[in-house]
Structure 1
Amino acid sequence: MKTILYARISTTDQTAAHQRTQAEKAGFTIDTVVVDEGVSGVSTRLADRPEGSKLSYMLREGDTLVVRRVDRLGRDYQDVTDTIREMMKRGVVVRTVINNLNFDGATTDPMQKAVRDAPINFMAATAQAQAEATKEAQRAGIAHAKGRDDAYRGRKPSYTRIQFDIVRAQLTQGASVSAIARDTGLSRQTIYRIQEDPAEAEAALARWAA
């Protein structure tokens, strides 16, 4: 049995070595580190990432997969939920450094199963809510953009479409503004603007066809 740390590095101030150090400080003994760098966590499933796709044949029954947070395992909560359930079916234990979550498919005790399944069910529900909120923001943004004079587009957004999606996803997941700023490279002020009026933030992208 082995313990594999999977790290997705999205910004220049993150490193695999730092994430490994965090994991070891949390009590994990890491045998192997698998790293995806510069891969969008919002638009790319784990199975479609260059290194993440290798986990399916690296992990065996009884192995442990360690991640900093569950959001490293997929592009949204539904994807994360599906990934965790698939890992548990194969007998792989999934654990997180942050919040010390433990997803073990071998658990038979009813109380332990309830504690294990609660965050999975929460993530599934959140995934649905996030998807609906994103679609609504997109519809509002497009309608808002069409209602404006084409000659007036306002200031060009300081964020890209990918950054906007990351901010929306991480806000839904409860991440702090400071953490999102580190992950995206955006200013806290920009993130607050997106948080306060996602429809207008979406409209700005639509006006600039970004």
Structure 2
Amino acid sequence: MKAHLYLRASTKDQDALRAKASLESFAADKGLVVANIYSENISGTKLHRPELIRLLDAAHPGECIVCESVDRLSRLSQSDWETLKAKIKAKGLRLVIADLPTSHMMVQDKGITGQIMEVINSMLLDLMATMSRLDQEKRVERIKQGLANKRLADPTWTPKGKGKNVEKWAKIQSLIIKHPGMSADDIAKLADVGVATVYRVKQQIQAVAPLH
């Protein structure tokens, strides 16, 4: 059975490929053949992620999506999680989570035991996805509270925003313009940025002058 490995980290400062070796080892242990590896630096709260979309477009019925943990796939709202699950089901894909043993049954052919485990696994996936979302919401609330406390202590204080790395954005723009056929993955590697950043720059260019 073919497997599509999906790796995600929230920011460029984190390493989305950190779990690559362990997921490849996991796939080998389960007798899975790795079809492709999809890695991106983007928030798990976003439903529309370039590499996840690319995975869903490329995968075929009966194949697996393999993730390290549920929160690498989803910190989505309830409605967005239901949307993602529906897309996975519509494609006929099996979702296998390395740290969720019940999902490992999805690698095997389904008998009556497999059908029972699929129901149990689905419930656990929903539970863990909810926990991931609540953890994210708590994290955001803590940040907001911290900012509010700083403003109370010093009314003149303002947070320092993250500015664009002008040099890297210019390099990405140059690569896109000079090599219109180059893939986002290759541009990201050459510019040393996440694929999501390449897509943002592309959108900015297209807003000014659509690429042909």
Residue equivalent to 2:151: 146
Number of positions where the alignment pairs a residue of Structure 1 with one of Structure 2 = 151
Letter in 1 for 2:126: N
**Secondary structure, counterpart of 1:60 in structure 2:** coil
| Cα distance in 1, alignment partners of residues 75 and 130 from structure 2 | 15
Question: What are the equivalent positions in structure 2 for 1:192-207 lying under 5 Å apart?
Answer: none
Residue equivalent to 1:71: 71
| Cα distance in 2, alignment partners of residues 92 and 128 from structure 1 | 23
Q: 2:67–2:98: 8 Å Cα contact kept in structure 1?
A: yes
Residue equivalent to 1:126: 131
| Cα distance in 1, alignment partners of residues 55 and 17 from structure 2 | 25
1:30–1:107 CA distance, 2 compared to 1 (3 A)? closer
Q: 2:4–2:38: 8 Å Cα contact kept in structure 1?
A: no
Q: Which has the higher helix share?
A: 2
1:65–1:149 CA distance, 2 compared to 1 (3 A)? closer
CA deviation after TM superposition for structure 1 residue 54, in Å: 0.9
1:136–1:52 CA distance, 2 compared to 1 (3 A)? closer
CA deviation after TM superposition for structure 1 residue 125, in Å: 3.5
**Secondary structure, counterpart of 1:86 in structure 2:** helix
1:99 and 2:100 matched: yes
1:27 and 2:6 matched: no
Question: What are the equivalent positions in structure 2 for 1:49-68 lying under 5 Å apart?
Answer: 49=50, 51-68=51-68
Letter in 2 for 1:14: R
RMSD across aligned C-alpha pairs, in angstroms?
3.8
Q: 2:75–2:132: 8 Å Cα contact kept in structure 1?
A: no
* Greater mean alpha carbon deviation, residues 86-95 or residues 111-120: 111-120
Q: 1:3–1:31: 8 Å Cα contact kept in structure 2?
A: yes
CA deviation after TM superposition for structure 1 residue 12, in Å: 8.1
**Secondary structure, counterpart of 2:101 in structure 1:** coil
1:132–1:18 CA distance, 2 compared to 1 (3 A)? closer
Letter in 2 for 1:92: L
1:129–1:60 CA distance, 2 compared to 1 (3 A)? same
| Cα distance in 2, alignment partners of residues 88 and 141 from structure 1 | 40
| Cα distance in 2, alignment partners of residues 56 and 13 from structure 1 | 19
| Cα distance in 1, alignment partners of residues 22 and 86 from structure 2 | 28
Q: 2:5–2:36: 8 Å Cα contact kept in structure 1?
A: yes
Which structure's CA Rg is the greater one? 2
| Cα distance in 2, alignment partners of residues 111 and 123 from structure 1 | 19
Q: Deviations over 1:156-201 (max 9, x none)?
A: 99xx9xxxxxxxxxxxxxxxxxxxxxxxxxxxxxxxxxxxxxxxxx
Q: 2:44–2:72: 8 Å Cα contact kept in structure 1?
A: no
1:14 and 2:29 matched: no
CA deviation after TM superposition for structure 1 residue 93, in Å: 0.7
CA deviation after TM superposition for structure 1 residue 115, in Å: 0.8
TM-score (norm 1): 0.53
Letter in 1 for 2:131: T
CA deviation after TM superposition for structure 1 residue 151, in Å: 6.9
CA deviation after TM superposition for structure 1 residue 3, in Å: 2.5
Question: What are the equivalent positions in structure 2 for 1:135-174 lying under 5 Å apart?
Answer: 136-150=141-155
Letter in 1 for 2:97: T
Residue equivalent to 2:208: none
Residue equivalent to 2:117: 112
TM-score (norm 2): 0.52
